[in-house]
């Protein structure tokens, strides 16, 4: 078909087999195309009309593939890829105090964070993740790795009360985090969160300061909350209330709060979070691996509480793989509720894209394939013989396909994964640095 003379020039025209736009909900489109120009989505329309209306500088055909928004990893500690498998089969308290914190005290430095974050970026790109929310030390080193890799990220300004190799006390953490934000705030692919680690590592005074700064700077608050029963029992003993109630009294509840894990919530707490407009970062595999429990996802979703999906760090998962998180989230909810109809495929696809974007305050930019949004995209090959036959692309993405079927990814219209290979990350050179760190840590 020839282009008409009035055709509009665009940078890129994509022709996949199917498109799942996320908005409107529950929709899968066949024989449609996506037009991209200057990093943004211009239109999503039937293929025949796209061929008439647009004159692309680049055309990409994706036969047998489904195109959807790039996935959003709502919670991770990216640099901890260098501790993958280092502390397996331990409960959270022991995992942290006897293995992870001592290893971090010995090894964490800017080079550790840069190498670990770059490795995480490569892994996430390979799995269709184009945006992630991070919480770790030396965030300026993470920012440099993210810039190298070309992903989008929300960097946490991590806060603890005790000293580490990064900072000496809560004021020092906050000062360094805010300085990092000032230095990187003009990078269009970076946004920021205030990231007090957890109620059991942050004081009332610091939490009050966090609430004030989040309001002044219009930043999300990203914190672990109600991850284990022990956390709740310790809070009752030390503060006389459960952690969520403590945060409510300190003024942290609101649309800015991302409650990470939220495994042990009762119905009144779920309703309180919904009323306050808070968000949940659901990390089902990390919760299972650390023996923390199974979050009440059916009730969370049923109450209308927004949730996204996170992998947590590779030290407690041990993969940064949202395809596995989607499947586990759906299956655990069905099994726990004894209702096969709950948390269907489109629900978890929404959580892995727009739900995470909404929690980060980025839903005006990413998370769905609407004109005007950034062209953050991933393509998944469903014609692999291992996946045959297939009847519904959405259910196949959740219950059959995996990250090994991800072929392409774009961030802001720029192709960052091509035929399964990251464009900006030289994996042989990266693995040399990773192996050096492995030797140091193992010894």
Confidence tier at 443 by pLDDT (50, 70, 90): confident
Confidence tier at 40 by pLDDT (50, 70, 90): very high
Q: Is 126 helix (H, G, I), strand (E, B) or coil?
A: helix
Q: What pLDDT, on a 0 to 100 scale, did the predictor assign at position 92? A: 87
Q: Tokens in use for 255?
A: 């649309």
Place of tokens 């045959």: 388
Confidence tier at 21 by pLDDT (50, 70, 90): very high
Cβ contact 193:360 at 8 Å = yes
Q: What pLDDT, on a 0 to 100 scale, did the predictor assign at position 128? A: 98
Determine how β-strand 129-134 pairs with β-strand 152-159: parallel
Mean model confidence pLDDT for the chain? 97
Each residue's pLDDT tens digit, 263-279: 999 999 999 999 999 99
DSSP for 402-443, written as a single string: -GGGEEEEEETTEEEEETTEESS--HHHHHHHHHHHHHHHH-
Averaged pLDDT for residues 81-109: 94
Whole-number Cα distances in Å, 8 to 72, 77, 156, 244, 371: 31, 43, 41, 53, 15
Each residue's pLDDT tens digit, 214-250: 999 999 999 999 999 999 999 999 999 999 999 999 9
Question: Starting at the edge strand that comes first in sequence, how are the strands of the sheet with 152-159 ordered?
Answer: 71-76, 129-134, 152-159, 190-196, 221-225, 257-261, 279-282, 306-309
Beta bridge partners of 10: 56
Q: Tokens in use for 131?
A: 């945006």
pTM over 0.85: yes
Share of the chain above pLDDT 70, in %: 99
206: left (phi over 0), alpha (psi -120 to 50) or beta: alpha
Distance CA(392)–CA(29), nearest Å, equals 11
Q: Is the pLDDT of residue 1 over 50?
A: no
Q: What pLDDT, on a 0 to 100 scale, did the predictor assign at position 5? A: 55
Each residue's pLDDT tens digit, 371-415: 999 999 999 999 999 999 999 999 999 999 999 999 999 999 999
Q: Is 26 helix (H, G, I), strand (E, B) or coil?
A: coil
Distance CA(172)–CA(209), nearest Å, equals 13
Cβ contact 24:425 at 8 Å = no
Q: Smallest Cα–Cα separation from 246: which of 220, 214, 269?
A: 269
Q: What pLDDT, on a 0 to 100 scale, did the predictor assign at position 2? A: 45
Averaged pLDDT for residues 18-32: 98
Using the CB atoms, write b or e for 179-206: b if 16+ within 10 Å: ebbeebeeeebbbbbbbbbbbbbbeeeb
Q: Smallest Cα–Cα separation from 382: which of 390, 373, 372, 374?
A: 390
Q: Smallest Cα–Cα separation from 138: which of 82, 95, 199?
A: 82
Distance CA(305)–CA(358), nearest Å, equals 12
DSSP for 80-125, written as a single string: GGGGTTTT-S--HHHIIIIIIHHHHHHH-SHHHHHHHHHHHHHHHH
Domains of the chain: 8-69+374-412 (2.30.40.10), 71-359 (3.20.20.140)
């Amino acid at each position: 078909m020839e282009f008409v003379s009035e055709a509009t020039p665009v940078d890129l025209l994509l022709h996949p087999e199917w498109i799942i736009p996320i908005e409107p909900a529950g929709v899968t489109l066949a024989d449609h195309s996506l037009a991209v120009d200057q990093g943004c989505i211009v239109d999503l329309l039937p293929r025949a009309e796209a061929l008439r209306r647009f004159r692309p500088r680049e055309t990409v055909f994706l036969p047998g593939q489904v195109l959807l928004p790039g996935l959003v990893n709502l919670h991770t500690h990216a640099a901890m890829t260098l501790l993958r498998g280092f502390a397996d089969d331990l409960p959270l308290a022991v995992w942290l105090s006897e293995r992870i914190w001592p290893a971090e005290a010995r090894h964490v430095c800017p080079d550790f964070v840069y190498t670990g974050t770059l490795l995480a970026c490569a892994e996430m790109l390979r799995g269709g993740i184009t945006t992630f929310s991070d919480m770790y030390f030396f965030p300026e080193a993470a920012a440099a790795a993210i810039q190298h890799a070309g992903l989008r990220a929300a960097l946490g300004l991590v806060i603890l009360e005790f000293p580490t190799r990064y900072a000496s006390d809560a004021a020092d953490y906050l000062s360094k985090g805010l300085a990092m934000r000032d230095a990187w705030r003009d990078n269009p692919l970076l946004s920021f969160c205030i990231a007090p680690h957890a109620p059991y590592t942050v004081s009332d005074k610091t939490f009050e300061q966090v609430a004030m700064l989040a309001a002044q700077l219009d930043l999300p608050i990203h914190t672990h909350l109600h991850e284990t029963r022990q956390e709740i029992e310790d809070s009752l003993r030390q503060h006389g209330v459960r952690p969520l109630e403590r945060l409510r009294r300190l003024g942290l509840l609101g649309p800015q709060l991302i409650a990470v894990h939220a495994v042990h919530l009762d119905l009144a707490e779920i309703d309180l979070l919904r009323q306050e407009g808070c968000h949940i970062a659901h990390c089902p595999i990390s919760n299972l691996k650390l023996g923390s429990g199974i979050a009440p996802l059916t009730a969370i979703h049923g109450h209308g509480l927004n949730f996204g999906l996170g992998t947590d760090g590779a030290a407690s998962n041990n993969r940064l793989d949202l395809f596995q998180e989607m499947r586990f989230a759906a299956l655990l909810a069905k099994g726990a509720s004894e209702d096969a109809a709950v948390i269907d495929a489109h629900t978890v696809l929404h959580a892995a894209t727009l739900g995470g974007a909404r929690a980060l305050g980025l839903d005006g930019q990413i998370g769905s394939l609407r004109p005007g949004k950034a062209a953050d995209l991933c393509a998944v090959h469903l014609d692999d013989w291992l996946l045959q036959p297939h009847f519904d692309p959405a259910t196949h993405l959740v219950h059959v396909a995996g990250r090994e079927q991800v072929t392409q990814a774009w961030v802001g219209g720029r192709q960052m994964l091509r035929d399964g290979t990251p464009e900006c990350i030289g994996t042989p050179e990266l693995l040399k640095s990773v192996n050096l760190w492995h030797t140091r840590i193992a010894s």
